[in-house]
Amino acid sequence: MSSTRNKITVVGAGQVGTTVAQLAAYKNLGNVVLIDIVPGFPQGKALDLQESGCLQVFDSLITGTNDYKDTADSDIVVITAGLPRKPGMSREDLLATNAKIVRSVTEEIMKYSRNPIIIVVSNPLDAMVYLAKKVSGLGKDRIMGMAGVLDAARLRTFVALELGCSQTDVDAMVLGGHGDSMVPMPRYTTVSGIPITELMEPGVIDQLVDRTRKGGAEIVQLLKNGSAFMAPGASVVKMVEAILKDNRRILPCTAYLEGEYGWSSIFFGVPVQIGIHGIEKVIELKLTEAEQAALDTSAKEVKKTINEVDTLLDKN
Ligand code: APR
């Protein structure tokens, strides 16, 4: 029997994928399909999650599967399939392996869903979402990457820890690629509307900015085996919720640029407005010269990995 509930497919039933499924279910955002390449793995995770429904009070259906037919007519697809980093690895080290995975996953998804909204999480993020757009043929409003919400959440956390204030009062903006060259924006980071530049010394802000840039690596170093998943999962669900509830929230997301911020044919972290139609607007901020220069450096890094994706696609 078909359902009128939203259908959220999560590809990859690993750490990030399971967290996304769990939080989406807890928020009753829709039925969730968890798909993975490993037989039994998504089925086990899905059943375990379903059995928590009467305790966490949700009645969404959670399906675990290895068959893409079960993903048919998804409203939103979250792609988390791929390898995570090991200590010492950069996100770019994952490129060749994850490109193959993201390509095949996107092809399979598009066989069964005509016009889904896709959110890519697999790393290296900016290159993987570029690849998924090329393979899917989706419009730029319907495909995006999750990075800025997470990077901003890290900066918000570090600011709150430094000031000893509630992290719910801190807001932040992080632009650029999801790598070491990302551009945290102290000028647009506030505590209940007060810019942090009025609350902290410049040297302290520099340290927090640096920690944000290396926030993913810090977790990888501590875990030794795998990368962050709780804050990434929560960041994805914030985007999923904004889309399905048509909240029209303004969030930093990885979006396709056509001239904004001086860059084209590139996926890049910028503030966007998202709602039921996906990315409804890219918001262009007036940057200082130094901010634009930092953004250009980041864009050049992203272009490099995107060019590698183009080369890989040309070969096959
Ligand atoms: N199709 C479906 N699932 C796949 C495929 C595939 N072709 N290849 C791998 N997977 C699955 C794996 O079986 C595994 O269950 O993807 C899952 C990845 O889960 P984890 O190894 O736990 O990795 P995770 O921490 O969730 O990170 C996933 O997100 O943040 C990024 O860098 C991270 O690229 C990584 C991705």
**Is the Cβ–Cβ distance between 99 and 57 less than 8 Å?**
no
82 lines ligand 1 (CB under 6 A): yes
Q: 133 to each of 38, 51, 117, 235, 268, how far by Cα in Å? A: 25, 35, 11, 21, 13
105 lines ligand 1 (CB under 6 A): yes
What are the tokens at 114?
């005509």
Substitution candidate for ligand 1 out of 67, 80, 86 with most atoms within 8 A of CB: 80
Helices (H) and strands (E) in the chain, counts: 10, 14
216 lines ligand 1 (CB under 6 A): no
Tell me which DSSP letter residue 196 carries. G
13 lines ligand 1 (CB under 6 A): yes
Q: What is the spatial distance between Cα 247 and Cα 120, in angstroms, rounded to a whole number?
A: 20
The CATH classification of domain 148-311, taken from the options 3.40.190.10, 3.90.110.10, 3.30.420.10, 3.30.9.10: 3.90.110.10
Q: How far is CA 6 from the centre of its chain?
A: 20
Cα 116 to ligand 1 centre (Å): 20
Cα 11 to ligand 1 centre (Å): 8
Q: Which residues pair with 64 in a beta bridge?
A: 34
Tell me which DSSP letter residue 122 carries. S
3-state helix, strand, coil split of the chain in percent (to 5) is 50, 20, 30
177 φ/ψ angles, rounded to the nearest 5 degrees: -75, 160
Q: Which atom of ligand 1 approaches the CA of 229 most closely?
A: 25
Residue 140 CB-half CA count within 13 A: 15
232 lines ligand 1 (CB under 6 A): yes
Q: Cis peptide before 124, with omega less than 30 degrees from 0?
A: yes
**Is the Cβ–Cβ distance between 28 and 60 less than 8 Å?**
yes
148 lines ligand 1 (CB under 6 A): no
Q: Write out the catalytic residue numbers.
A: 178
What are the tokens at 58?
């949700």
Tell me which DSSP letter residue 84 carries. P
**Is the Cβ–Cβ distance between 176 and 182 less than 8 Å?**
yes
**Is the Cβ–Cβ distance between 275 and 246 less than 8 Å?**
yes
Q: 274 to each of 60, 137, 188, how far by Cα in Å? A: 24, 20, 19
pLDDT at 140: 98
Cα 93 to ligand 1 centre (Å): 15
294 lines ligand 1 (CB under 6 A): no
β pairing state of 190-191 and 117-120: unpaired
Domain 7-145: homologous superfamily in CATH: NAD(P)-binding Rossmann-like Domain (3.40.50.720)
Amino acid at 285: L
Tell me which DSSP letter residue 225 carries. S
Q: How far is CA 212 from the centre of its chain?
A: 16
Substitution candidate for ligand 1 out of 9, 10, 16, 98 with most atoms within 8 A of CB: 16
DSSP H or E stretch at residue 284: none
Q: Which atom of ligand 1 approaches the CA of 41 most closely?
A: 15
Kindly report, as residue ranges, where domains of CATH 3.90.110.10 are found in the chain: 148-311
Nearest to 184 by CA among 164, 209, 161: 209
Q: What pTM value is reported for the model?
A: 0.97
Kindly report, as residue ranges, where domains of CATH 3.40.50.720 are found in the chain: 7-145
DSSP H or E stretch at residue 142: none
pLDDT at 2: 62
Nearest to 152 by CA among 261, 285, 250: 250
pLDDT by position in tens, the chain (length 316) = 567 899 999 999 999 999 999 999 999 999 999 999 999 999 999 999 999 999 988 999 999 999 999 999 999 999 999 988 888 887 778 898 999 999 999 999 999 999 999 999 999 999 999 999 999 999 999 999 999 999 999 999 999 999 999 999 999 999 999 999 999 999 999 999 999 999 999 999 999 999 999 999 999 999 999 999 999 999 999 999 999 999 999 999 999 999 999 999 999 999 999 999 999 999 999 999 999 999 999 999 999 999 999 998 888 7
Substitution candidate for ligand 1 out of 9, 36, 94, 104 with most atoms within 8 A of CB: 36
